[in-house]
Amino acid sequence: MLLVFLPIYIWADEGMWLPCCLSKQTKQVMKDMGLNLTPRQLYNPGGAALSNAVVSFGGFCSGVVVSPDGLVFTNHHCGFDAIRQHSTVKHDYLRNGFVADSLSDELPNPDLFVSFLVRTEDVTERILQALPQDVTEDNRSLIVDSLSTLIADEAVKNDTLLRAVVSSFYAGNEYYLSVYKDYYDVRLVYAPPSSVGKFGGDTDNWVWPRHTGDFSVFRIYADTHNEPAAYSKDNVPYHPDYYAPISLAGYKEGSFCMTMGYPGTTSRYLSSYGVEERMNADNMARIDVRAIKQAIWKDAMEKSDAVRIKYASKYAQSANYWKNSIGMNQSIKKLNIIGKKRRLEHQLTEWIHRKPEERNKYAGILTELEDSYRNRYKNARAMAYFGECFANGPELVTAAWSVLNFDFEAEKSVLEERVRQLLELYANIDLDIDKKVFVAMLKEYAAVVEPESLSETYATIEKKFKGDYQAYVDDLYSHTELDTPRGFERVVKKDSTYVLFEDPAISFVIDMLVKSYELSAAADDDNMKIEKNERLLNEAVREMESDKDFYPDANSTMRFSFGMIGGYSPKDALEYTYYTTIKGIFDKIREYKGDSDFEVIPSVIDLLENRDFGRYAAEDGNMNVCFISDNDITGGNSGSGMFNGNGELIGLAFDGNWEAMSSDIIYEPNLQRCIGVDIRYVLYMIEKYGKSTRLINELKLVE
């Protein structure tokens, strides 16, 4: 029966906890489960601690520093775009892998940075005290934003190398300041072949059992004072004040396991009505639209290595959360998540009725949430499809939007970086593919939304092109100057013969912006009511269960989770063990013969067949590849270190499991698992495949 109220009753291994703010209850649970470190060894602003070795990698993944010279371990899929950018048909690092034989061979990545957390501070009281008693929701947002900016600016005013952010927690009931130091010179050091780092591809994504060597290696560089600096040949390896030791002892079922990283977003306290909208609007738009776009991309990628390299990263990023959305919707239905939410909300309603002092504050919030979500559903669904079809659709639209919003008044360094990013975008567009995507997106959007959600472009297509989407797209691409960088160059040179706002690509973007604004504005009132009542719902649930130990939803701030290594039973009569070995790689190669997701290059097969595992072998002499624990995980956790009770690295988290894809909404303790790559397999591939003993020698290995 406890499963009905999972958002209230927090299980020992559930939660994404703030390192700064552990309760006595949580500390004791961790100790009882097997953690041998003190709280100050986990998080200690101004001193050495395990959290100092954990980085936000690029703002979208996590990583862990593992050497005194700034080596960072993260996932292969986190480093995938950087690996792709350095790849060519001649030097195909995606297919064959990459190893730098010396510091001078390590490859810079202008778009990458890592962030170290300096400190976290609770600023809730300062912000909430500034809010007038009867403030409207829109004014509340303005005040919170203004005060958050002021607090962040104050925190870094004496140190220009720091960055500060105030983030909302518990749906806006609490606020915390996080101060970071960012390093911008991050170089690629090692990447396994994709047939290791991406083994299983889309087929195995979010699935256990897994056999993916999902890792890559980078190095942080700094100036001669060990401070952040833009890329320079004069920079030197960064020297951290703490780096993670690595265990070669492995793990057993029931072993303590802790992850530390930067999980992106969860919605554990979201109302049942919010879950319904997410299913039927956001997730369905992602499922429907990306399936169409990815099919076009994949067909072209399979016909050309040059296209494959151009589109590999885009395809992987798109497919990742496409499959996630499919699994989430299936899990929400199968596990009756909405029913569980409704029962919780019924319990809350009864509690409110029993508490006269709470009636004025909380009475009606669920009714208003139901009404507001219902009122905005049509526009929310249209906006979701709009975003997937156009904002996240044809790359010509992305390029045109970038040119339209280009800030020519920015500082020189910022200007140069944005020009570089724009040219990089153009370098990776195939116009024939993009036209196919454009036509498909126009058709799909028109097919799924109400007529009033269509922009003026559709009237033009009907009138001028007799409803022929292909004819419209062909005409647009033949007349725009923005299908290549030449249009941007004409703007830069102030070419008087070129009027940017008359370019058909810009006209399309502006038309889309107008319609987007109309759709958004139509839902403004309901948006404000939803924001307010979701916040009150969050507050009410925590008040009702004030004796419980709550954790906030993930919001890209540093968190850790703790749990145990162990298998699970996804359904009757089926039991999954807690680790996989290289035997499963060969089994899948045979089972999926001819499937590109399971193709392994001969040099890797030869290595694995040789079975020279050395000190990286498990106790039984085999090579473990992946393992699972019941740690809490979501997007952004990819690359998080998985640590034993002594704070030694035993793996890198890279995925959740299919049966618990609704975990962003409710944690299911019997089903949810965190999938990690065994650190011994990582080291084996570095030393035996990459023959890079120089990297192994940097590490602190605990035998």
Does residue 214 have an active-site annotation? yes
Segment 329-343 mean pLDDT: 96
Does residue 638 have an active-site annotation? yes
Q: CA 151 to CA 499: how far, in whole Å?
A: 43
Q: For 211-245, how does the pLDDT look when each residue is reduced to its tens digit (9 = 90+)?
A: 999 999 999 999 999 999 999 999 999 999 999 99
Arithmetic mean of pLDDT over the chain: 95
Q: Above 70 in pLDDT, residue 10? A: no
Predicted pLDDT of residue 8: 35
Q: For 470-525, how does the pLDDT look when each residue is reduced to its tens digit (9 = 90+)?
A: 999 999 999 999 999 999 999 999 999 999 999 999 999 999 999 999 999 999 99
Q: For 350-368, how does the pLDDT look when each residue is reduced to its tens digit (9 = 90+)?
A: 999 998 887 788 989 999 9
**Cα 423–426–432 angle (5° rounding)?**
170
Segment 408-429 mean pLDDT: 91
Q: CA 218 to CA 681: how far, in whole Å?
A: 17
Q: Which of 77, 87, 202, 313 is catalytic?
A: 77
Q: Name the token pair of 473.
A: 């797209």
Q: Which residues contact 46 (CB under 8 A, 6 or more apart)?
A: 119
Q: State residue 325 phi and psi, 5-degree precision.
A: -65, -40
Q: Please list the residues that pair with 162 across neighbouring strands.
A: 181
Question: Which pairs count as long-range contacts for 569-575, CB under 8 Å and 24+ apart, including other chains?
Answer: 569/670, 570/659, 570/671
Given a contact cutoff of 8 angstroms between Cβ atoms, the answer to whether 17 and 560 are in contact is: yes
Segment 329-342 mean pLDDT: 96
pTM, 2 dp: 0.94
Q: Percentage of the chain with pLDDT > 70?
A: 98
Given a contact cutoff of 8 angstroms between Cβ atoms, the answer to whether 608 and 192 are in contact is: no
Predicted pLDDT of residue 552: 96
Which residue, among 589, 583, 587, has the nearest Cα to 609 in the 3D structure?
583
201: left (phi over 0), alpha (psi -120 to 50) or beta: left
Q: For 441-468, how does the pLDDT look when each residue is reduced to its tens digit (9 = 90+)?
A: 999 999 999 999 999 999 999 999 999 9
CA distances from 573 to 302, 569, 570 (A): 39, 8, 9
Q: Please list the residues that pair with 76 across neighbouring strands.
A: none
Given a contact cutoff of 8 angstroms between Cβ atoms, the answer to whether 292 and 242 are in contact is: no
Q: CA 104 to CA 366: how far, in whole Å?
A: 61
Q: For 41-78, how does the pLDDT look when each residue is reduced to its tens digit (9 = 90+)?
A: 999 999 999 999 999 999 999 999 999 999 999 999 99
Q: State residue 396 phi and psi, 5-degree precision.
A: -60, -40
Q: Name the token pair of 514.
A: 């107008």
- For residue 248, the tally of other CB atoms under 10 A from its CB is 15
Predicted pLDDT of residue 13: 65
Given a contact cutoff of 8 angstroms between Cβ atoms, the answer to whether 515 and 386 are in contact is: yes
Q: Which of 69, 81, 185, 214 is catalytic?
A: 214
**Domains identified in the chain and CATH numbers:** 1-113+184-267+559-703 (2.40.10.120), 272-525 (no CATH)
Which alpha helices (H) appear in 302-336, and where do they start and end? 305-334
pLDDT band at 691 (very low <50, low <70, confident <90, very high): very high
Q: For 510-566, how does the pLDDT look when each residue is reduced to its tens digit (9 = 90+)?
A: 999 999 999 999 999 999 999 999 999 999 999 999 888 899 999 999 999 999 999
Q: Which of 62, 115, 216, 638 is catalytic?
A: 638
